[in-house]
């Protein structure tokens, strides 16, 4: 809503001016209309920025603490959030989110209609995890290393139906990726899928790792409206096997 207002403002102002030119409005009416539109625009922009300034500053501080751990210059865009959650719907929960960061994907999942109680958010950075708890009090937020999830009893107990990953996988060594995939696929229902993104052309999970774990990767979208542009991948089991 607030974002739309930003775009509408110049168009509306131009409309008022054109109508005034056509002498259908007095100068006073034009001034009043432009002022009213400006107030609505500034209010909308203030609301939007109050939200993003706090998230962006948290993100930048986390980036400063661990550049490789965050692995991105900006939080993911709304377009990337839409692309990575494109196959999810209100009944897709419970959903596991790895590297939830500022909660861009979590917010999108709530918008889709997945209840907050059905979100399990894993975030290693303590400040970002605290922020997630504040933002999503009904979600389960775990401040822990996603690559060690498989070691905790939590993974087997979760029974999630989908997983979304915002982790900087390209910066991670093979053994971490192995730990992440083991944890995720232990928690995932048989026909569940893991959605992740990469900034490179290739899937950030090496073919030999996919092969070893009996998984396959399929690219489902390229998102240009993200800095930098990203590719979204869907990882599934090759054969739907029984988990345990
Ligand atoms: C690209 S960023 C955030 C992505 C998020 N979708 C966003 O746009 O705000 C990656 C996040 O993964 C977190 N992270 C990195 N390594 C992690 C690990 N081993 N376990 C859990 N979280 C991790 C970072 O702290 C960071 O918040």
Residue 126 pLDDT:
95
Residue 117: other Cβ atoms inside 10 A: 12
Give strand pairing partners of 163: 96, 194
CA atoms of 76 and 48, how far apart (whole Å): 16
- Domain at 78-237: CATH code: 3.40.50.150
Q: Point out the ligand 1 atom lying closest to the alpha carbon of residue 103.
A: 9
Report whether residue 62 contacts ligand 1, using a CB cutoff of 6 Å.
Answer: yes
Comparing 201 with 40, the larger pLDDT belongs to 201
3-state class (DSSP) for residue 36? helix
Closest CA to ligand 1's atom 27: 101
Ligand 1 contact, 101 CB (< 6 A): yes
CA distance 16 to 34: 7
pTM of the model as a whole = 0.79
Where do the domains of the chain lie?
8-70, 78-237
Q: Tens digit of pLDDT for each residue in 104-136?
A: 999 999 999 999 999 999 999 999 999 999 999
Task: Give the pLDDT confidence score for residue 71 in this predicted structure.
Answer: 79
Evaluate: CB of 122 within 6 angstroms of ligand 1: yes
Measured in whole angstroms, the distance separating CA 189 from the mean position of its chain's CA atoms is: 22
User: Which of 101, 146, 177 has most ligand 1 atoms within 8 Å of its beta carbon, as the pocket-test mutant?
Assistant: 101
Whether the CB of 123 sits within 6 Å of ligand 1: yes
Contact between 132 and 141 under an 8 Å Cβ cutoff? The reply is yes
**CA contacts within 13 A on the Cβ side of 167:** 30
Query: Bridge partners of 160?
Result: 188
């Amino acid at each position: 809503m607030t974002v739309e207002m930003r775009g509408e403002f110049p168009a509306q102002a131009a409309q008022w001016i054109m109508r005034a030119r056509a002498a259908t409005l007095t100068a006073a009416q034009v001034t009043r209309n432009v002022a009213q539109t400006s107030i609505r625009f500034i209010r909308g922009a203030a609301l939007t920025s109050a939200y993003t300034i706090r998230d962006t500053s948290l993100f930048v501080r986390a980036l400063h603490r661990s550049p490789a751990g965050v692995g991105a210059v900006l939080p993911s865009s709304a377009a990337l959030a839409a692309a990575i959650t494109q196959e999810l719907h209100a009944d897709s929960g419970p959903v596991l989110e790895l590297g939830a960061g500022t909660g861009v994907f979590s917010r999108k999942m709530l918008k889709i209609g997945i209840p907050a109680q059905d979100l399990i958010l894993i975030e290693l950075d303590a400040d970002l995890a605290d922020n997630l708890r504040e933002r999503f009090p009904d979600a389960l937020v775990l401040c822990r290393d996603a690559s060690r999830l498989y070691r905790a009893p939590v993974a087997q107990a979760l029974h999630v139906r989908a997983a979304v990953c915002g982790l900087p996988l390209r910066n991670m060594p093979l053994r971490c990726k192995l730990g992440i995939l083991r944890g995720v696929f232990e928690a995932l229902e048989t026909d569940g899928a893991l959605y992740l993104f990469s900034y490179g052309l290739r899937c950030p999970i090496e073919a030999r790792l996919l092969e070893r774990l009996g998984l396959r990767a399929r690219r489902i979208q390229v998102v240009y409206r993200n800095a930098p542009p990203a590719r979204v991948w869907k990882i599934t089991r090759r054969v739907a096997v029984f988990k345990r």
